[in-house]
């Protein structure tokens, strides 16, 4: 992401949170960034486009940090608690911005925002699923959809209190509470040998293949950065091989079982382009750690 683009996103986030989306003008955002209104439109075609970019930016930021804490060591339960803390802290830090969206009804309901909402929901559900499998093992599989949906329901109530009623909520405290509640739920369902209310297949119909898919938001973020760098430095008509390789890579990594030879071949091809070298090498390193 370009430096000025990031500056506009952060300025827009600040103004939307303090003044509201509908009452903030493009000129005010440009003034906050010490640039002309015309310069703003070089980066974003509209205020609506900026709002959507803000949502993408903070989604990438939080799930990249969640991926990082996965590798910080500790028991599976401690790793889960740390990831929940990061996720909850991000929401609480942006509660003014979220409150603005609720009051202004600012988010446009189009195909792009619906896809983003689905993406965030799936990543959040997958966060719970991956960690529940790590903490409890295969015995949790029949209950995994019920568990993650119940967790999300409980946490949403706490966030509603914090955002709408100014309830003082700490991310670490909420994360620890959720871990205890999951222990209680898991223990109770196993002891009674409950039948799940919602099956994994049903949840997959709504959210996508939640059990089979690997939770890897960092890979997704790096792919997005590769695409942005390619489009910033090159034109399709001038470098058709570059954009073909990028498209093949994106399609392959979206498959349930990406083929190693194709993924690595495309990344080595992209490394030949200097602006893409750093992100290509990072993605190769991550995929090697994941034994792709």
Same domain, 183 and 126: yes
pLDDT at 254: 67
Neighbours of 60 (CB within 10 A): 18
Q: Which of 62, 63, 45, 56 is nearest to 112 (CA)?
A: 56
Average pLDDT, the chain: 85
Q: Which of 234, 265, 242 is nearest to 252 (CA)?
A: 265
Neighbours of 198 (CB within 10 A): 16
Q: Which of 64, 40, 38 is nearest to 50 (CA)?
A: 40
Q: Which of 151, 225, 143 is nearest to 181 (CA)?
A: 151
pLDDT at 58: 84
Share of residues in the chain with pLDDT > 90 (%)? 33
Q: Residue 170: pLDDT above 60?
A: yes
Q: How many domains does the chain have?
A: 3
Domain carrying residue 86: 53-207
Q: Residue 233: pLDDT above 80?
A: yes
CA distance 207 to 131: 17
What confidence category does residue 257 fall into, taking pLDDT thresholds of 50, 70 and 90? low
Asked, for residue 32, whether it belongs to a domain, the answer is yes
Same domain, 177 and 225: no
Q: Give the long-range contacts of residues 248-256, CB within 8 A, separation 24 or more.
A: 249/223, 250/223, 253/219, 253/223, 256/209, 256/212, 256/213
Most confident of 29-33, 146-150, 165-169: 29-33
Same domain, 86 and 19: no
What confidence category does residue 180 fall into, taking pLDDT thresholds of 50, 70 and 90? very high
Question: With contact defined as beta carbons under 8 Å apart, do 211 and 160 qualify?
Answer: no
- Among 145, 180, 207, where does a domain finish? 207
Neighbour-count burial of 50, counting CB atoms closer than 10 A to its CB (0-12 exposed, 13-18 middle, 19+ buried): buried
Greatest C-alpha distance within the chain:
65
Same domain, 87 and 176: yes
Q: Which of 83, 64, 52 is nearest to 219 (CA)?
A: 64
Tell me the CATH number at 134. Answer: 1.10.357
Q: Which of 288, 292, 282 is nearest to 223 (CA)?
A: 282
| Chain segment 77-129, per-residue pLDDT in tens | 999 999 999 999 999 988 888 887 777 666 666 677 777 777 788 788 888 88
- Among 207, 226, 260, where does a domain finish? 207
Question: With contact defined as beta carbons under 8 Å apart, do 190 and 33 qualify?
Answer: no
Q: Is 36 left (phi over 0), alpha (psi -120 to 50) or beta?
A: beta
Region 146-167: what's the mean pLDDT?
A: 90
Same domain, 179 and 34: no
What is the Cα 289 distance to its own chain's centre?
20
Region 146-154: what's the mean pLDDT?
A: 89
Same domain, 182 and 78: yes
Same domain, 58 and 189: yes
| Chain segment 182-209, per-residue pLDDT in tens | 999 999 998 998 888 888 777 777 766 5
Asked, for residue 212, whether it belongs to a domain, the answer is no
pLDDT at 213: 46
Same domain, 240 and 279: yes
Asked, for residue 192, whether it belongs to a domain, the answer is yes
What confidence category does residue 217 fall into, taking pLDDT thresholds of 50, 70 and 90? low
Asked, for residue 178, whether it belongs to a domain, the answer is yes
More confident position, 115 or 281:
281
Q: Residue 277: pLDDT above 80?
A: yes
pLDDT at 149: 87
More confident position, 176 or 126:
176
| Six-digit token string for 279 | 């992100």
pLDDT at 256: 58
Same domain, 143 and 202: yes
Same domain, 221 and 200: no
Q: Which of 91, 25, 30, 23 is nearest to 61 (CA)?
A: 91
pLDDT at 103: 72
- Cβ contacts of 215 within 8 Å, gap of 6 or more: 123, 126, 127, 129, 130
What confidence category does residue 210 fall into, taking pLDDT thresholds of 50, 70 and 90? low
pLDDT at 136: 92
pLDDT at 290: 60
Tell me the CATH number at 7. Answer: 1.10.10.60
pLDDT at 200: 74
What's the predicted TM-score (pTM) here? 0.68
Same domain, 180 and 277: no
Q: 217-233 and 277-289 helices cross at what angle (nearest 10)?
A: 160
- Among 177, 207, 237, where does a domain finish? 207
Question: With contact defined as beta carbons under 8 Å apart, do 112 and 59 qualify?
Answer: no
Same domain, 155 and 93: yes
Q: 277-289 and 260-270 helices cross at what angle (nearest 10)?
A: 160
Residue owning tokens 């830090």: 93
């Amino acid at each position: 992401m370009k430096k000025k683009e990031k500056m506009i996103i952060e300025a827009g986030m600040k103004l939307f949170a303090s003044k509201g989306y509908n009452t903030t003008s493009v000129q005010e955002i440009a003034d906050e960034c010490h640039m002309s209104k015309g310069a703003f439109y070089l980066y974003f075609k509209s205020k609506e486009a900026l709002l959507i970019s803000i949502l993408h930016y903070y989604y990438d930021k939080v799930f990249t940090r969640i991926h990082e804490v996965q590798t910080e060591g500790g028991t599976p339960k401690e790793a889960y608690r740390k990831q929940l803390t990061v996720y909850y802290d991000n929401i609480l830090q942006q509660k003014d911005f979220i409150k603005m969206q609720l009051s202004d009804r600012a988010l446009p309901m189009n195909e792009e925002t619906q896809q983003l909402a689905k993406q965030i929901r799936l990543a959040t559900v997958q966060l719970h699923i991956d960690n529940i499998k790590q903490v409890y093992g295969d015995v949790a599989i029949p209950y995994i959809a019920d568990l993650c949906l119940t967790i999300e329901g409980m946490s949403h109530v706490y966030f509603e209190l914090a955002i709408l009623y100014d309830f003082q909520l700490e991310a670490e405290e909420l994360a620890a509470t959720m871990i205890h509640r999951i222990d209680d739920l898991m223990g109770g369902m196993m002891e009674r040998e409950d039948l799940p209310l919602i099956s994994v297949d049903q949840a997959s119909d709504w959210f996508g293949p939640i059990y089979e898919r690997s939770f890897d938001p960092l890979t997704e973020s790096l792919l997005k950065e590769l695409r942005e760098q390619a489009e910033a430095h090159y034109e399709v008509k001038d470098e058709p091989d570059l954009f073909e390789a990028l498209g093949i890579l994106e399609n392959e990594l979206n498959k349930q079982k990406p083929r190693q030879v194709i993924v690595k071949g495309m990344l080595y091809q992209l490394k030949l382009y200097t602006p893409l070298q750093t992100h290509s090498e990072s993605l190769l390193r991550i995929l090697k750690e994941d034994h792709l």
